[in-house]
A = this chain, B = another copy of it.
Amino acid sequence: MTPVIPPTSTSFDTPELIRRTLAGERVPLARAISWVENEAPGSVELLDACFGASGRAFRIGVTGPPGAGKSTLVTKLALEYRGRGETVAIVAVDPTSPFSGGALLGDRVRMTELSGDPGVFIRSMATRGSMGGLAVHTAQVCDVLDAAGFQRILIETVGVGQSELEVAQTADTTAVVLVPESGDAVQAMKAGLMEIADVFVINKADREGAERAAFAIRSALELRAHPTEWRIPVHMTVASQAGGVPELVDRFEEHLVFLRDTGRLEERRRARLEQRLTDLLQARLWSGFRARVGDEAWREQLAALASRQATPHQAAEKLAGK
């Protein structure tokens, strides 16, 4: 196996980067994550090594509508976990931001509170790679952090769209963060968050209407077609003052125990792995197909479509025949 020197690196060959990443060294770790994000030449080898060494970390997804205070909450959660002696990695995912301004902003806040602690690692992600969507990349980055020995990984996603749900679902436990404004609570159903939440958090609970929002969510949970064994808690926090954060961490740890004892942890992780395999294969199939078809035939069919000489279905038939 000859060492590969990817363009993004002048200082590491692949085996060295893998060894030092698995040893938990920060600089190689940061570089390793960049390899994954950029799909650098050595990244497959790196990912294979990290996947083998992963599976120990507890991955917690934190999602919810913009403005719910997720960045602050995640920062306080990290501090609480540190207080309990756990090492923590934060992955802030911003699928739609072109300049991931949000994530950067969140990081700046975090820096002041978490900087200098070797037990904390913070990373922002906004890139969507060719090998499947952002969810795949997030899961891969979490594998690297997991393999590097971080015990708790907090995955923070912005927004309430499909891709955010997918990212949140790379986690073992998913917390949905809302604010008292009842609108959010009602919209939570719309946004499909009811289906993915293991824990509901009403942040900024010192604001008016927190109790009402909690009630709305609890009622909505009662109405679900398929109630779960796990009684989904609706927990209030005031993240800016770390209010309710220790109790929220307790809820997370309780859910982890529940998942382990009921075999659900393995079940969920199997389902996630199946999704990752699917994403990888779909991306691979498509690039292979496009290479096979070639640009000329592709352009031909597009022209036929634009002139209404072919329908999408007919054009697909033609190209799929190749």
Contact = CB atoms under 8 A, between A and B. Distances in A.
Interface of A: 44, 47-48, 51-52, 55, 65-67, 94-99, 101-102, 158-165, 183-184, 187, 189-192, 194-195, 266, 269-270, 273-274, 276-277, 280-282, 284-286, 289, 301-302, 305-306, 308, 311-316, 319-320
Given A162-B161, A286-B285, A280 B191 contact: no
A66 B183 contact: yes
Given A190-B159, A320-B284, A55 B308 contact: yes
A166 B202 CA distance: 30
Residue from the set A94, A96, A187 with the largest chain B CB neighbour count within 10 Å: A96
B48 A313 contact: yes
A273 B65 contact: no
Nearest to A273: B305
A263 B194 CA distance: 44
A300 B29 CA distance: 32
B277 A47 contact: no
B65 A66 contact: yes
A266 B302 CA distance: 12
Nearest to A161: B161
Contacts of A285: 282, 285-286, 289, 320
A159 B308 contact: no
B313 A280 contact: yes
Contacts of A302: 270, 273-274, 277
7 contacts: A67-B184, A97-B189, A98-B192, A98-B194, A98-B195, A102-B187, A281-B316
A162 B160 contact: no
A280 B190 contact: no
A305 B277 contact: yes
A55 to B, nearest CB: 7
Nearest to A190: B102
A320 B281 contact: yes
Contact of A281 (B97, B187, B191, B289): B289
B273 A312 contact: yes
Nearest to A276: B312
A109 to B, nearest CB: 15
B305 A190 contact: no
Nearest to A315: B277
Contacts of A308: 51-52, 55
Given A96-B190, A281-B320, 4 more contacts: A66-B160, A159-B161, A274-B305, A285-B285
B52 A94 contact: no
B190 A97 contact: yes
Contacts of A55: 308
A313 B44 contact: yes
Contact of A313 (B47, B65, B98, B160): B47
